[in-house]
Amino acid sequence: MKFGFLRFMAMLEGTSLLLLLFVAVPMKRMMDMPEAVSIIGPIHGALFILFNLILLFHVIKGNLSAVRGFVGFVASLIPFGTFVYKAKVLK
């Protein structure tokens, strides 16, 4: 199971993006609570960077092709993208 940690990070990164977009940003805009973005934003940023570093590590080691690595990077930019990537590419 060489992709176990990458699969786990895909779930964390995807969840943090959804929390940011669908919980923290609406709280900031509709309830005037910018603290939610101040907390979740940096957490998501760290998870985004960590996910992509682990993805790059797998590409460099030869576990993933460059194309699949690039698809993973693009997936990390799209809501629900890492969930689909995990299910379809990291089987």
Full residue range of the structural domain in which residue 30 is found: 4-88
Between CA 86 and CA 21 the distance in angstroms is: 20
Condensed to tens digits (0 to 9), the pLDDT of residues 56-89 reads 999 999 999 999 999 999 999 999 999 999 999 9
CA angle 39, 78, 15 (to 5 degrees): 45
Q: Using a cut of 0.85, tell me whether the model's pTM lies above it.
A: yes
Condensed to tens digits (0 to 9), the pLDDT of residues 82-91 reads 999 999 999 8
Number of domains present in the structure of the chain = 1
Between CA 62 and CA 38 the distance in angstroms is: 37
